[in-house]
Amino acid sequence: MDPETKLKELTAILNEVADLKSAVDLLDWDQQTYMPPGGAANRAYQQATLAKLRHIKFTAPEVGQLLDDLQLWAAELDPDSDEARLIKVTRRDYEKKVKVPSEFMAEFTKTTSNAHLVWQQARQTDDFAKFQPYLEKIVELRREYADFFAPYDHVYDPLLDDFEPGLKTTEVQEIFNALRPQQVELLKAISEKPQVDDSFLHQPFDEFRQEEFGMEVISKYGYDWNRGRQDRAAHPFTTSFGLGDVRITTRFIPDYLGSALFSTLHEAGHAIYEQGIASHLDRTPLAEGTSLAVHESQSRMYENLIGRSYDFWTHFYGRLQELFPSQLMEVDLDTFYKGINKVEPSLIRVEADEATYNLHIMLRLELEIALMEGSLEVADLPEAWKSRMEEYLGLTPPNDADGVLQDVHWSSGYIGYFSTYALGNLISAQLWEKVNEDIPDLADQIRRGEFAELTGWMHEKIHRHGSKFEPQELVERVTDSKIDPAAYMRYLRTKYTEIYEL
Amino acid sequence: MDPETKLKELTAILNEVADLKSAVDLLDWDQQTYMPPGGAANRAYQQATLAKLRHIKFTAPEVGQLLDDLQLWAAELDPDSDEARLIKVTRRDYEKKVKVPSEFMAEFTKTTSNAHLVWQQARQTDDFAKFQPYLEKIVELRREYADFFAPYDHVYDPLLDDFEPGLKTTEVQEIFNALRPQQVELLKAISEKPQVDDSFLHQPFDEFRQEEFGMEVISKYGYDWNRGRQDRAAHPFTTSFGLGDVRITTRFIPDYLGSALFSTLHEAGHAIYEQGIASHLDRTPLAEGTSLAVHESQSRMYENLIGRSYDFWTHFYGRLQELFPSQLMEVDLDTFYKGINKVEPSLIRVEADEATYNLHIMLRLELEIALMEGSLEVADLPEAWKSRMEEYLGLTPPNDADGVLQDVHWSSGYIGYFSTYALGNLISAQLWEKVNEDIPDLADQIRRGEFAELTGWMHEKIHRHGSKFEPQELVERVTDSKIDPAAYMRYLRTKYTEIYEL
């Protein structure tokens, strides 16, 4: 069989793996949007069965054999070609998957499934001790997981690699070590200034008008409704069943404008990324974002760098006032702008503003690394959490429920995930500086509510490549620099110097 | 391995087959309700991949081996036990599936996929000649299909058996030969009487109030919203993803009350059947209705025998008038009742009333059988259609689009399906007589809007068994008679004698 035929054979298998993934994702989307309560028991079975079939199909010896057979041929190709990258990415994913025994995965799934239930109770009753043995078991299993990939430079590397292919723990530590003191210092400067007012955001806002406004904005952003839709879900998320069907979800809070508005812009950023992937990559492992951090750079950019900018609201604020005259007619643009950018240290990560968000992340990353290294015991985690909260944010959690127990991630086995949120922020600012160089009148365009050139640039530089490149590689290709905190700090300083008159 | 362990092993495979079926059904539900246009291409791939995996898993030699191994053991069990029936039904399905080569199925799927597209064009342009070669090919393939099950008494038997397990062509012919002249005669008698008025149904009716009324009624019927939901779809249908999640869909026509109302009651009948299947049968081949005809007996009963009865409207008409005062306040109950039961021969099956519907079916069945026997050529089908329409319904189709080209079934390869609709009507009347014997005050209950005892009786006699019994077997167990047209004719005669003063 010639290599072209073998590649076709490999692709045919990968296509079916993609179909199974899409079906699993649809089972999940439906569960979070429309499924009646009675469907829950069978849904869990359906997801498990399809996930298993997907795993069996992807890790079949036949796939390994085809990858081996194609190795030499691929080495002769343009390394940036779709074919070479498809083989490279598939080999990477394949080798990761086959290194982990299915008995281990079964135990991990069972452990996290129980741990998740216990965590829900522990958080409700503020009882860390109850969750402690489960988290200890998870840390142990995560170490065992890392060992399947030995030798490694750092025990945290294999975990991080699942979300940020190729990125090393030391790289992230360097980035965050440079970033943290600057963020702490900026926050301190802000906290010495008079606070801005955002009380006008906390009033009753008709849900359907909130929805209408969000749809108007993301349509202008370039979200393609022909290849997507928006539904309601308790926890907003974006999902795709192939590049022609990328859906977002939103949660509407009737007496707080900020929630649905910014979460809609955020999810639209994720969705515009997926919709922008080159369509010929569809049904292959390349038809997704390159990493969680790069994905997050897009959602944060459309949510924050654009959606919380003065230029943006210069265009859209009149329309928002028109939709909510009684709530906003007396609030002028400057007040509104300052209100949606209010900085206030809070205990809860998901409520954090742009100036404090990364601090929540860095705290978590440091603790995760310490747990994995064994320099911190799970039993000592609550105290370690509290002392860092004081150091970074100046707050002391009154309990563990609003402290170490607040996030779902660890209970689900996700150790290695958190840093992607902060890295996404950093990348968004790097891309923002670059796109403003390339499109000198971008600010003017935004003040006119025009996003076609901006989104086109993102399609061209980032989206269309799908997951062909590793995150550091892609960021460097586009910005001539690897992930670097300088741009984000420039962005924060400029913004808050003006708002808080630093 | 002991038989119990083997049965567990078999059940585990069947559970996964059921999970795959549920996932395919969800892909289909989503396609018909919420999927954006851009999702269509990938959706077809996803459905094909999962259907293939389901087929492979169910027809694996391992399944055949387990069935063989369990045969002797099962022969010792109570033949009505779940275990014995599970093995029997699985063996039946397994043997049918493995007898059909996958190359044949691939050709059949490709042929019908093309034929369906051509049929759409042919119907639009009223061009039977265009569709003719495709239908010829389908008839040929259906004969080839039947031959996989040779020897048979009649070439149509294997086709019918796919929808009505165990039922023979001669049985259906006998039933319909007894039924047809009585229906033709009744229709003639009705057509000599003055027509009733139903113009009030054709007015603007607010869609959300239509929906509200339908939901109120089917809630009283016993449809469990905790295990289901209702969405909008162009062609109403019922689907389930296991017994805890049985969904219906409805289409609302803003200026005709009859459409959404009766289709909601119809689909609720299907759904109440599925919700009533014993929950321990879930995720097995027994967790579905016993046949299309028995399924249809439930939908037609809740739609027609109940939903178009005077007793029903004695209770509900006030509420309907309250929801639509300007449209219905001047229409009294008698006029409304007669209007929703208006008999008028029409060219189109899906618009047919209770007195004419079966005639549309019998025409189709006779033509199908003649095609399969070879006594009728596809080329002569349009003329054969027209002459029977005149004979049975007194109408002459002005074209083929509203004649032989009106139904989707044949273009999709469904030859053997139509009779189930009429058989469902007959069974519904048999069950209706029986349940009225067992619950003497049922009419009173319905006049009070109470359906708990009725639906409970259906659960007990029909629903809970799932597909344990063949349709004739089940009908006989419940009514002491096989499928028989007498009850349905008694029902029609009583009803229309009163309405049309025959």
ipTM: 0.95
C-alpha B346/C-alpha B396 separation (Å) is 10
Edge-to-edge order in the sheet of strand B246-250: B230-232, B246-250, B238-240
Kindly report the pTM of this predicted structure.
Answer: 0.95
Residue of B nearest to A44 (CA): B19
Q: Respond yes or no on whether the N-terminal peptide bond of residue A151 is cis (omega within 30° of 0).
A: yes
Secondary structure element (H or E) that encloses residue B249, with its range: strand B246-250
Shortest Cα–Cα distance, A39 to chain B (Å): 5
Rounded to an integer, the average pLDDT of A304-324 is: 98
Residue of A nearest to B229 (CA): A36
Shortest Cα–Cα distance, A269 to chain B (Å): 19
Nearest to B263 by CA among B243, B229, B234, B288: B234
User: Number of Cβ pairs closer than 8 Å across A and B?
Assistant: 125
Q: Does B35 touch chain A (CB under 8 A)?
A: yes
DSSP string across A274-305: HHTS-GGGTTSTTSS-S-HHHHHHHHHIIIII
C-alpha B239/C-alpha B275 separation (Å) is 11
Nearest to B156 by CA among B168, B141, B174: B168
| Residue A402 per-residue DSSP state | T
Contact indicator for B356, B346 with CB cutoff of 8 Å = yes
Mean residue pLDDT of chain A comes to 97
**In the predicted model, is pLDDT for residue A232 greater than 90?**
yes
Q: Which of B14, B24, B46, B282 to mutate to test the interface with A (most CBs of A within 10 A)?
A: B46
- Which is catalytic among the residues B62, B164, B185, B267? B267
Q: What would the two tokens of residue A228 be?
A: 């997507």
The single-letter code of the amino acid at A208 is F
Shortest Cα–Cα distance, B171 to chain A (Å): 39
Rounded to an integer, the average pLDDT of B59-77 is: 97
A241-257 core/surface letters (b: 16 or more CB in 10 A; e: else): bbbbbbbbbbebeeeeb
C-alpha B411/C-alpha B132 separation (Å) is 10
C-alpha A275/C-alpha A464 separation (Å) is 9
Helices (H), B301-416: 310-323, 325-328, 333-340, 357-373, 381-393
Q: Does A215 touch chain B (CB under 8 A)?
A: no
Helices (H), A414-451: 419-438, 442-447
Contact indicator for A249, A263 with CB cutoff of 8 Å = no
Phi first, then psi: give them for residue A64, nearest 5 degrees: -60, -40
At A248, is the secondary structure helix, strand, or coil?
Answer: strand
At A247, is the secondary structure helix, strand, or coil?
Answer: strand
Edge-to-edge order in the sheet of strand A238-240: A230-232, A246-250, A238-240
Q: Does A323 touch chain B (CB under 8 A)?
A: no
Q: Which residues of B touch A19 (CB under 8 A)?
A: 42, 45-46, 48-50
Confidence of residue A390 (pLDDT cuts 50, 70, 90): very high
Q: How many CB atoms lie within 10 A of CB B24?
A: 20
C-alpha to C-alpha distances, B77 to A224, B86, B87, B190, nearest whole angstrom: 59, 12, 11, 53
Query: For chain B, what percent of residues have pLDDT higher than 70?
Result: 100
Under 8 Å CB-to-CB from A261, ≥6 apart: which residues? Answer: A210, A213, A214, A307
C-alpha B330/C-alpha B336 separation (Å) is 10
For residues A488, A493, A494 and A500, what is the CA-based torsion angle, rounded to 10 degrees? Answer: 140
For the stretch B215-271, pLDDT in tens is 999 999 999 999 999 999 999 999 999 999 999 999 999 999 999 999 999 999 999
Q: Does A225 touch chain B (CB under 8 A)?
A: yes
Residue of A nearest to B13 (CA): A49
Q: Summarize chain A as % helix, strand, coil (round to 5).
A: 70, 0, 30
For the stretch B356-392, pLDDT in tens is 999 999 999 999 999 999 999 999 999 999 999 999 9
**In the predicted model, is pLDDT for residue B204 greater than 90?**
yes
Q: How many CB atoms lie within 10 A of CB A12?
A: 11
| Residue A197 per-residue DSSP state | P
Q: Does A368 touch chain B (CB under 8 A)?
A: no
Q: Which residues of A touch B15 (CB under 8 A)?
A: 45, 49
**In the predicted model, is pLDDT for residue A280 greater than 90?**
yes
Q: Which residues of A touch B48 (CB under 8 A)?
A: 19
Phi first, then psi: give them for residue A441, nearest 5 degrees: -100, 25
C-alpha to C-alpha distances, B269 to A237, B199, B208, B304, B455, nearest whole angstrom: 36, 27, 21, 10, 10
Confidence of residue B1 (pLDDT cuts 50, 70, 90): confident
Pairing between strand A230-232 and A246-250? Answer: parallel
Confidence of residue B281 (pLDDT cuts 50, 70, 90): very high
Nearest to A243 by CA among A258, A226, A256: A226
Alpha carbon A368 to its chain's center: 18
Pairing between strand B230-232 and B238-240? Answer: unpaired
Q: Does A279 touch chain B (CB under 8 A)?
A: no
Give A116: exposed, middle or buried? Use CB within 10 Å, 0-12, 13-18, 19+: middle
Contact indicator for A299, A270 with CB cutoff of 8 Å = yes
C-alpha to C-alpha distances, B80 to A141, A244, B6, B292, B459, nearest whole angstrom: 48, 49, 20, 21, 17
C-alpha A59/C-alpha B198 separation (Å) is 64
- Which is catalytic among the residues A171, A185, A267, A322? A267
Q: Does B53 touch chain A (CB under 8 A)?
A: yes
Shortest Cα–Cα distance, B274 to chain A (Å): 13
What pLDDT score was predicted for residue B439? 98
What pLDDT score was predicted for residue A1? 85
For the stretch B448-498, pLDDT in tens is 999 999 999 999 999 999 999 999 999 999 999 999 999 999 999 999 999
Phi first, then psi: give them for residue A66, nearest 5 degrees: -65, -40
**CA gyration radius, chain B:** 23
Phi first, then psi: give them for residue B249, nearest 5 degrees: -135, 155
Q: Does B215 touch chain A (CB under 8 A)?
A: no
**In the predicted model, is pLDDT for residue B177 greater than 90?**
yes
Q: How many CB atoms lie within 10 A of CB A141?
A: 18
First to last CA, chain B: 69
Mean residue pLDDT of chain B comes to 97
Confidence of residue A341 (pLDDT cuts 50, 70, 90): very high
The single-letter code of the amino acid at A382 is P
Q: Which of A14, A53, A219, A284 to mutate to test the interface with B (most CBs of B within 10 A)?
A: A53
Strand ranges in B52-195 using DSSP code E only, listed in sequence order: none
C-alpha A22/C-alpha A51 separation (Å) is 11
What pLDDT score was predicted for residue B184? 95
For the stretch A183-217, pLDDT in tens is 999 999 999 999 999 999 999 999 999 999 999 99
Q: Which residues of B touch A225 (CB under 8 A)?
A: 36
**In the predicted model, is pLDDT for residue A298 greater than 90?**
yes
Nearest to B451 by CA among B296, B286, B269: B269
For residues B300, B302, B308 and B311, what is the CA-based torsion angle, rounded to 10 degrees? Answer: 140
C-alpha to C-alpha distances, B190 to A98, B130, B333, B337, B498, nearest whole angstrom: 73, 38, 21, 16, 11
Annotation marks residue A450 as catalytic: no
Contact indicator for B381, B367 with CB cutoff of 8 Å = yes
